[in-house]
A = this chain, B = another copy of it.
């Protein structure tokens, strides 16, 4: 199959939840292969069917004979293995806490366009989506971003720049990707909210400028946001255009 040390299995065509894993692999400089992107979706569903410990859904990461799933689980495993978090237990637990909070926020972003049924079309749940998206824009985005703004301010060593300790750590990649997704899906709402969370917006900019992340995002390996993904830009779900 592949000599790469890490094999990622995720549906090709969208950044999706796989992107959170890709960013950690890229930032770590890991030897990895994006199996879904290189070999197509069938390789992903095949692995879903044959993983020794079944996975509920992609992304899956294969390391030797072990296949693990759940994006936050994979990200924390990789982040810890590659030293993208301080090695003391409290830091690791807090990093996992941040990663899980972003994962919750990602699920809520998904449900803005699929508030009724993940397997039904958006067109079948547009009315419900409009109500849920309004709540998401006005209540949930400010609450989640405000939370991370507080985390930045509460870190005594970080100078307002880092979630944990005195340096970059892997959950910043997740927060960056979530903000990127929001900027794509809800540009009007984000123009309104961003001034209230300058620390988070600056963190997003610093992560974007990290050499390995910038190089990856410019590469053909990076798949752009699009209307099949978790983050979707439907103008009717965003704030109305400013007049």
Contacts and interface: CB of A to CB of B under 8 A. Distances in A.
Given A53-B151, A128-B128, A117 B96 contact: no
Given A53-B151, A93-B66, A154-B54, A100 B116 contact: no
Interface stretch (A70-78, A189-197, A221-229): A70-78
Nearest to A97: B70
Interface residues of A, number: 41
Interface in A51-85: 52-56, 66, 68-70, 72-73, 76-77
A209 interface: no
Interface in A134-186: 135, 139, 144, 147, 150-151, 154-155
A119 interface: yes
| Identical chains in the assembly | 2
Contact of A116 (B54, B119, B120, B132): B132
Contact of A73 (B93, B117, B125): B93
Nearest to A50: B154
A101 interface: yes
A238 B69 CA distance: 31
Given A77-B93, A100-B72, A107-B107, A52 B154 contact: yes
A242 interface: no
B93 A115 contact: no
A69 B151 CA distance: 13
20 contacts: A52-B154, A53-B155, A54-B150, A66-B93, A68-B94, A68-B97, A69-B97, A70-B100, A70-B101, A72-B100, A100-B100, A104-B107, A107-B107, A115-B116, A115-B132, A116-B128, A117-B135, A119-B135, A120-B135, A125-B131
